[in-house]
Structures are given as C-alpha cells and as structure tokens.
Structure 1
Amino acid sequence: MIRTVSDLLSSILREELPKLDKAPVKHAPTIGDMYEGLSFEVLNRALPSGLGLRVVSGFARDSRGNLSGQLDCMVVRGEGEKLPYTDSYVWHVKDIIAVIEVKKNLHSAELRDAFAQLNTVSAIEHSYYQGADEELDDPHRSVAPSVRTFAEMTGKVAWGPQGAVTLPFEEKALLDVLVLEQVSAVRVVLGMHGFKSELAFRSSIVDYLERIVGNEGFGPASFPQLVISGGYSLVKANGRPFMTPLVDGWWPFYFSTPENPLRLLLEFIWTRLDELYGFHYDIWGDDLETEAGRGLLSFRAVRLNGRIGWEAMVSDVDGEKLNGMPVSRQWSPEFIRLEEFVLLERLRKERVVRFDDPGLLAWLDSRGVDFDSVCSRLLETRLVALSEHGLELIAKQCGLALLPTGEYVAAENSTGRLNRWVTRRFEESSERT
C-alpha cells in the first residue's frame, strides 16, 4: 500500500508542480503560499483516515507558552488554538506528529534557513520532554521502541528486570537521543526543486556541518529526519523506520538516496503513527525491497577537555563511486545454522537463554560448537542482544523457517515480511521445477 500511495502523491506533484512553476506571479509570499498549499494537498492525501489528524500551519508551543518560529505545515492531532483573523494555529508540541518546512528551491541558503526554523521546534521539544512540565497525555506511552532500536544498534540490552541498565557514557547518550527522537515530531525539509546532483546535495550538508560544529547543543538531534531536495533525499537512521548498527562505536546516522522522496516521507510519518495507534501490517505492502542508503555522516558521543559533546565523521565519496552504488536491494532473512535455529526457537518460548545453562552448553559441546561463536552469529541477526546473564530476544516477532533446500532462516516477522519472502521463494522454486 505504501508504494501505491507514494506513487499517487508523486503523480500529483508531477502534474501540479509545472502549473506552479509557470504561474505569472513574482510576489514572494504568494509564491510561498502556492507551494505550501500544494504540500498541504499532498500531506492530507498521505494521512490515514479515521485518526482525527489535520494539516495546519502556525506555531508550536510548550506548557510555558514558549513558541517556535512560524511553521509551514504541521501534521497534528487533538485541539489547537486558531489565531484571530488568520488561518494559522498554535499547537502544543505533544500533539504535533510532523513538521514540514516547504521550499520552492532548496539550495545551501534555503537549507540553512530550514534547519534553523525546525530547530526552534526542537528547542521547545527538548525543554518540554526533558523538563518537569511534561504532560502525561498518554499514560500508556512506552519507550520500548527506542530501547529495542538501541539493542539492535549496539547488541546490548538497556532495560532489565530491575529497570534501566547502567550504560557507558557514550551508549547512554545514544539511548537518550533515540528516546527523544521517538517522542518528538518528525521534522522534514521539503524542497520542490533543488540540487542537480546527489554529490552537490551531500556537500551542502557537510558545509553546514562545518559551520555549526562546536556550537552549544549541537548533535544528531539537531538534524531533521528527512531533507528532500528535488529528487534526492537525506535520511536519518534513528530506528523509525531506518536503522543502522554502530560501526566501531560510531553511529552512521545520515545517508543520502535518490529513492522516491515521497515514499520516504510516508515511511517516517506512518512509522510514527503506527507507534501511536497501531496499523495492520498490510499497510507496508510486500516490503521485500529495501533502500540501500549511501552513508554520509556518523556521530559518537565524546568527553573532551572536560566537555561533553558529539564528534562527527564524514563519509567522503566521489561522484563516480556514488553513482555506482545501488539505490535499493532485495530483502533477505538471515541464513543461520541449526544451532542458532535451536537457540532462537528456545528464545521465542523463554525470551532469555543464560550463558551458564548446563544442558545447552553440553548439547553445543556434543556438536563441537563453541557457545561464544553461536552468540556472535546470533547478534549479527539483530534479533537478540546481550543481557547481564545471557542472550535476550529483542525482536517483536521472531520468525523462523526451514526451506526445502534444508537451509534455516530467521527474521523479524511482525509485518509478515518473512512469510511473504518464504512464499515467493516457494513460488520461484515451483516455477523452476
């Protein structure tokens, strides 16, 4: 379904954008209103019905009355305050699903302006969610999605039976950002037109980074989840929905792609809505093709000269190498051995397998397999993570299958993705025979 909707939205843009581009108007505010109006149309069509969601423009506020800058588009729930004699609203940050800054053309100057505008929302959110004024509007709200993303990224469990696990400074900083990303509004910069090449787009972000590095409060949360410049996008891998594991302690958190930008927009907004309301997995479609992002920025938390902050690293690639990278790849489950299959089956029943389980250790020894090597291979699946005493299942729904070839596979199956992959595999096998 997500591909169908994104294709529909893309067709709307292809049809309507030329009309706006040819409009005989030179008045800048009016031009801005036209492109914002088109964005409203696209967003309204992108939202599932029956949830009471709206698209408005105006300002974000916190419980103390602090306001953001004026925002082009906000996807909101609940009730806001309409400003007299205008079409603008003031909306509490807790009820804002997404914020979109719209630009006719997105180049370096507009990019910096959009970042600054969206960061006025971030400043209010950070103060609200980290302060004592937070209103528990949703008593059932859980940070479990962030804890699971942290486990997928690090291979470590951050929450045990007794509560939060003591983490090293660097990992605690990462978890804090992931939680903030989960509860905050999805921030998007939508440039209808923009850079002529993906390489130029990436360079503009690096230039922006060099301008602000060292600023107070600067870090991964300072970057929007999605930046669209015409046919290219910059995407944040914060686990909702895109996730990348740590590499030598670095978080590869920003990547570029020429993938359909409206599908990426839907992925971010629908993931947030799914965590709030719960969707049937059919909404994601077959989901057997995934984005192959081209890494751009990595971050890690550091202590330096008595100060705490974030260190950034740029993945520098030339245009030829960039153009040679794949845009997408076919999804596949993890191919595992019998020993991992047995442990995962046990984890599905008991959630935890202890390191000192004598029966398990004896069985593995009888097969000439070392327990540590089995653990290492299971951690690579991102279905399990290390706890204090053993391995813990972190997948929402761990799917397992035995193929006709005798091979064992495992994957997260909460959306039915593994089921669809196995069905397609059997169909292809039948066609060959």
Structure 2
Amino acid sequence: MIRTVAELISGILRDELPKLDNAPVKHAPTIGDMYEGLSSDLLNRALPDGLGLRVVSGFARDGQGRLSGQLDCMVVRGEGEKLPYAESYVWHVKDIIAVVEVKKNLHSAELRDAFAQLKSVSVIEHSYYQGDDEELDDPDRSMAPSARTFAEMTGRVAWNAEGPVALPYEEEALFGALLLEQVSAIRVILGMHGFKSERAFRSAMVDYLERNIGDNGFGPTYFPQLIISGGYSLVKANGRPFMAALLDGWWPFYFSTPENPLRLLLEFIWTRLDEMYGFGHAAWGEDLDIEVGRALLSFRAACVDGRKGWEVRAHEAGDEALSAIPVVEQWSPEFLGKVEFVLLSRLCQGEEVRCDDPKMISWLESHGVEFNDVRARLLETRLVASAGKSLKLITKKCQLVILPTGEYVAAENSTGRLDRWISRRIAAQRNGVSGEGLV
C-alpha cells in the first residue's frame, strides 16, 4: 500500500509542479505560498483516514511558552491555537508528528536556512523531552521501539526484567539519542528542485557540517530525518524505519539515495503513526525490496578530557562509486546452521540460552562448536542481543522455517514479510525461475 500511495502522490507532483514552475508571478512570498500549498496537499493525501490528523502551518511551542520559527507545514494531532486573523497555528511539540520546510530550490544557501529553521524545533523539543514537564506522559508512545533499535544496532539490551541496564557513556548517549528520535517530530526539508548530482548534494552537506564543527546544535538529534533536493535525498538511519548497525563503535547515521523521495517521506511518517496507533500488515505491502544507503556521515559518542560530545566522520564518494551501488535490493531472511537454528528455537519457546549452562555447552561440544562462535553468529542476525550471560530475543515475532531444500531460515515476521518471501520463492521455483535474489 505504501508504494501505491507514494506512486500516486509522485504522479500528482509531476503533474502540478510544472504549473507552479511556469507561473507568471514573481512575488517571492506568493511563490513560497504556492509551493507550500502543494506540499500541504501532498501531505494530506499521504495521511491515513480516521486518525484525526491535520496539516497546518505556524509555530511549535513547549509547556513554557517557547516558540519555534515559523514553519511551512506541520502534521499534527489534537488541538492547537489558531492565531487571530491568520491561517497559522501554534501547536504543542508533543502533538506534532512531522514538520516540513519547503523550498522551491534547495542548494547550499537554502540548505543552511532550512536546517536552522528546523533546529529551532529541535531546541524546544530537547528542552521539553529532557525536562520535568508534567505534560510529558503520553500513553501512545512506548519506549520499546527505541530499546529494540538499540539492541539491533549494538547487540546488547538496554532494558531487562529489572529495569535499565548500566551502559558505558558511548552506548548511553546512543540510547538517549534514539529515545529522543522516537518522540521528536519528524523533521523534513523538501526541496522541489535542487542539486544536479548526488555527489554535489553530499558535498554540500559535508561542507556545511565542517563549517559548524564544535558548535551546539549539530549533534545527531538536530539533523533532519530527511532532506530532499529534487531527485536525491539524505536520510537518517535512526531505526524508524531505517537502521544501520554500529561499525567499530561508529553509528552510520546519514546516507544518500536516489530512491523516490516521497516514498521515503511516507516511510518515516507511516512508521511513526504505526508505532503510535498500529496499522496492521496491509499498510506495508509486500515489503520485499529494501533501500540501499550510500553512507555519508557516521557519529560516535565520546568523552575527551572530561568533555562529552559526538565525533563525526564523513564518507566521501565520487559519481562512479555512487552509481555502482544499487538503489534497492531484495530482502531475505537469515540463513542459519543447524546449531544456530536449535538455539534460536529454544529462545522462541521461552527457554534460556546462557553461556554458563553446562548441558548446552556439552551439547555444543558434541557438535564441535564453541559457544562464542555460535553466539557471534546469532548476534549478527539482529534477532537476538546479549544480556549479561544470556541471549535474549529482541523481535516482535521471530519465526523459524525449514525450507523444502533443507535450509534453515529465521526472520522477524510481525508484518508477514517472511511468509511473503517464502510464497514468492516457492512460486519462482514452480515456474522454473532460479530464484536469484531469494536464496
């Protein structure tokens, strides 16, 4: 369904955008209003019915009366305050789902301006969500998604049956960032036109960051989740929905892609709404194609000489290297060995898998396997995480299957993705297709 909706609003954009581009008006505020109006219309079409959501323009505020700069489009729930004699609203940050800054053309100057505008929302959110405001309680928002993302990224659990787990500063900062990402508004810069190449877009972002290294407001939680410049996008891998595992302690935090930008926008907004309200399986369609990110920025929390902050690393790539990376690839479950399959089955049945279980260790030795080796392979699946001496499932619905070929596979199947993959694979084999990409 999400792909169908993305194609629908992409078609509307293709039809309507030339009308705005060719309009005879030269009055800059009016031109801005036209592009903002088109963006609001597209957002309204992208929102599911029945949730009481609206698209408005205006200002974000917190419980202390602090205001953001003026915002082009806000996807909101609940009630806001309409300003007198204006079609603008003031809305509390806790009820803002997404904020979109719209630009006719997004190049370096507009990127800086829009980034600063959205940062005014982040400043208010940080103060509100990290403070003691009594309005903070929100029954729609469980912290479980952030805990799951943290476990997938690090291979360690942040919560257990007794409560929060003691983490080193680097991981504690990462978990705090993920929690803030989950509850903060999705921030988007939407440039209808922009950079002529993906490489130029990436370079402009890196140049902007380098000019502000060491300044407040340039940590990972201040970056927009999505920046669109014509046909190219910069995307945040914060686990909702895009996730990247840590590499030597570095968080592959931002990537670029030429994928349909409106599909990316829907992925962010619908993931947030799914976490808050629940959509069911139908919203995601087959979901067997996954985006391939071209890494741009990596962050790592660090404490140097008593100063805590984030280190950043840029990943440069030329046009040829970027074009060699596919835009999407086919999803597949994790293929397991028999021993891994048995241990994962134990976890799915509610049994423990511990490194100090003498019976299990003896059984592994009888199969010529070291516990540390099978543990490392299971952690690579991102279906389990380490909790002290134990391994814990971190999925919503882990399912294991023995294929007709005798192969063992496992995957998160809460959306039915594994079922669809198996159906497609069997159909391909019946039709005499090799099943390339599905094995």
How many angstroms does 1:227 deviate by?
Answer: 0.3
Deviations 1:39-80 (A, max 9, x none): 011000000000000000000000011000000000000000
- Per-residue CA deviations over 1:251-280 (Å, capped at 9, x if unaligned) read 001000000000000000000000100111
Distance in 2 (alpha carbons) for counterparts of 1:290 and 1:217: 31
Say whether the 8 Å CA contact 1:150–1:156 is kept in structure 2: yes
Which residues of 2 match residues 358-397 of structure 1 at below 5 A? 358-397=358-397
Equivalent residue number for residue 33 of structure 1: 33
Distance 2:168 2:15 in 1: 52
- 2:106 is the counterpart of 1:106: yes
* Conservation of the 8 A alpha-carbon contact between 2:94 and 2:136: no
TM-score by length of 1: 0.98
Aligned partner of 1:400 in structure 2 is 400
Structure 1 residues 79-94: aligned runs within 5 Å: 79-94=79-94
Q: Quote the Cα distance in structure 2 between the aligned partners of 1:399 and 1:204.
A: 44
Structure 2 counterparts to residues 27-426 of structure 1, below 5 A? 27-139=27-139, 141-350=141-350, 352-426=352-426
Moved over 4 A (4+): none
Are the aligned partners of 1:352 and 1:393 in contact in 2 as well (CA < 8 Å)?
Answer: no
- Asked if 1 retains the 8 angstrom alpha-carbon contact of 2:66 and 2:124, the reply is yes
The residue aligned with 2:437 is none
Deviation at 1:282, TM superposition (A): 1.3
Aligned-pair CA distance for 1:305: 2.8
Counterpart secondary structure, 2:63: coil
Tell me if structure 2 keeps the 8 A contact 1:301–1:311. Answer: yes
Q: Secondary structure at the match of 2:410?
A: strand
Which has the larger displacement, 253-262 or 408-417?
A: 408-417
Gaps of 5+ in 2: 434-439
Q: Distance in 1 between matches of 2:305 and 2:103?
A: 40
Distance change in 2, residues 1:65/1:304 (3 Å): same
Cα distance in structure 1, aligned partners of 2:295 and 2:217: 24
Contact conserved, 2:98 with 2:188, CA < 8 A, in 1?
A: yes
Moved more, 286-295 or 140-149: 140-149
Structure 1 residue runs without a partner (length 5+): none
- In 2, Cα distance between the equivalents of 1:94 and 1:123? 13
In structure 2, relative to structure 1, the CA distance for the partners of 1:428 and 1:388 (3 Å cut) is same
What amino acid is the match of 2:149?
T
Deviation string, structure 1 residues 157-196 (Cα, Å, up to 9, x no partner): 1111211111011000000000000000000000000000
Q: Paired residues, what number?
A: 433
Is the Cα contact below 8 Å between 2:93 and 2:125 reproduced in 1?
Answer: yes
**Distance verdict in 2 for CA 1:379–1:250, change over 3 Å:** same
1:295 and 1:429 map into 2 onto residues whose CA distance is 35
Q: 1:351 to 1:209 in 2, by over 3 A?
A: farther
RMSD of the TM alignment (CA)?
A: 1.1
Whole-angstrom distance in 1 between the partners of 2:381 and 2:44: 37
Q: Is the 8 A contact 1:195 1:230 kept in 2?
A: yes
Amino acid at match of 2:67: L
Alignment partner of 2:38: what SS? helix
* Whole-angstrom CA distance in 2 between matches of 1:185 and 1:41: 19
Q: Check whether the contact 1:351–1:392 (CA below 8 A) recurs between aligned residues.
A: no
SS in 2 for 1:69: coil
Q: Is the 8 A contact 1:218 1:310 kept in 2?
A: no
CA separation in 1, counterparts of 2:167 and 2:136?
26
Please report how far the alpha carbon of residue 359 of structure 1 lies from its aligned counterpart in structure 2 after TM superposition: 2.3
CA contact (8 A) 2:335 2:407 kept: yes
- Cα offset, 1:223, TM superposition: 0.6
- For 1:136 and 1:254, the matched residues in 2 are separated by 29
- Secondary structure at 1:422's aligned position in 2? helix
The Cα of 1:352 is off from its aligned counterpart by 4.0
Contact kept, 8 Å, 1:128 with 1:134, in 2: the verdict is: no
Q: What is the distance in 2 between the residues matched to 1:417 and 1:301?
A: 34
Deviation at 1:389, TM superposition (A): 2.2
- After alignment, is 139-148 or 48-57 more displaced? 139-148
- 3-state DSSP class of the match of 2:369? coil
SS of the residue 2:26 aligns to? coil
Cα offset, 1:411, TM superposition: 1.0
Structure 2 CA distance for aligned equivalents of residues 348 and 97 of structure 1: 34
Measure, in 1, the Cα distance between the counterparts of 2:213 and 2:169.
21
Tell me the secondary structure at the aligned position of residue 193 of structure 1. Answer: strand
TM-score normalized by structure 2? 0.97
Could you tell me which amino acid in structure 2 is paired with residue 267 of structure 1?
E
